[in-house]
Amino acid sequence: MGKLDGRVVIVTGAARGQGEQEARLFAAEGARVVVADVLDDQGEAVAKEIGETAGAGGGAAVHVHLDVSKEADWAAAVAAAKAAFGKIDGLVNNAGILRFNELVSTPLDEFQRIVQVNQVGAFLGIKTVAPEIAAAGGGSIVNTASYTGLTGMAYVGAYAATKHAIVGLTRVAALELAAQGIRVNAVCPGAIDTAMSNPAQLDPDAELAQSGEALDRFYRKLVPLGRVGRPEEVARLALFLTAEEDSAYITGQPFVIDGGWLAGVSVL
């Protein structure tokens, strides 16, 4: 028996990184997963691999194209999910983008693009999918916020602003949707080894590869547990918050997964 047997969950940004690991883990726990992403080739490949490895009694997956900043794309994704699996029980609002820039040098269009994907995307996901989850009898929404949604960090002002907003949105949604049997929580990852934080994963160029190594050394010193986090670790937290048997009495909460980074600064 899997923890998500019979559940249908949409995972956004599921073509790679945290979203991919969440989709794979959820399917391994018996869910039927909608792999939603703008990266169609990669998303289709992930969905195909999940289907091939699900095995008897396991989950299944389909890919849908989804630009989370577009309301029409959300409506189409919900329609595709229901056509494939008949209902929707859960949502992981994982899709997001990150840009490094000091505030006074950030172009308005860059700031607005980050808001559209990270903040508006999460809002549209809740608005579009929550009624479907309610119609299915209740379920869970997990929003991906960030360590920077609970503190500040230089050079990621637009990103941090959206992640603070997601924490607030999570709390409001939890209050408004509780009566419909929908729990809403947020995961707040710190430094996680994905393409977003480590571009060396996407480009074998020597300079980028060196910057990836430097990033690892940096976090090794900064994070109390001495390493960068792994996307599958974030996926396990998202599973905990999605599985009714594990987190039935938890809603409206941000869960930090950062190796102790937010705890403070060590002098040793």
What is the per-residue pLDDT across 127-174, written as a single tens digit (0 to 9) for each? 999 999 999 999 999 999 999 999 999 999 999 999 999 999 999 999
First-to-final CA distance of the chain: 46
Q: Is 147 a catalytic residue?
A: no
* pLDDT at residue number 195: 79
* pLDDT at residue number 116: 98
pTM above 0.85, yes or no: yes
What is the per-residue pLDDT across 98-124, written as a single tens digit (0 to 9) for each? 999 999 999 999 999 999 999 999 999
Domain segments of the chain as ranges: 8-192+229-260
* pLDDT at residue number 60: 92
Residue with tokens 């992640």: 163
**What is the overall mean pLDDT for the chain?**
92
**Cα distance between residue 215 and residue 200, in whole Å:** 10
SS (H, E, C) the chain: CCCCCCCEEEEECCCCHHHHHHHHHHHHCCCEEEEEECCHHHHHHHHHHHHHHCCCCCCEEEEEECCCCCHHHHHHHHHHHHHHHCCCCEEEECCCCCCCECHHHCCHHHHHHHHHHHHHHHHHHHHHHHHHHHHCCCEEEEEECCHHHCCCCCCEHHHHHHHHHHHHHHHHHHHHHHHHCEEEEEEEECCECCCCCCHHHCCCCHHHHHHHHHHHHHHHHHCCCCCCECHHHHHHHHHHHHCHHHHCCCCCCEEEECCCHHHCCCCC
Spot the catalytic one: 147, 159, 219, 249: 159
What is the per-residue pLDDT across 203-260, written as a single tens digit (0 to 9) for each? 445 454 445 566 667 777 889 998 899 999 999 999 999 999 999 999 999 999 999 9
What percentage of residues in the chain have a pLDDT greater than 90?
82
Res. 265 pLDDT band, cuts 50 70 90: confident
CATH number of the structural domain 8-192+229-260: 3.40.50.720
* pLDDT at residue number 53: 83
Asked if the model's pLDDT at residue 185 lies above 60, the reply is yes
Rg (CA), the chain: 18
* pLDDT at residue number 206: 45
**Cα distance between residue 242 and residue 9, in whole Å:** 9
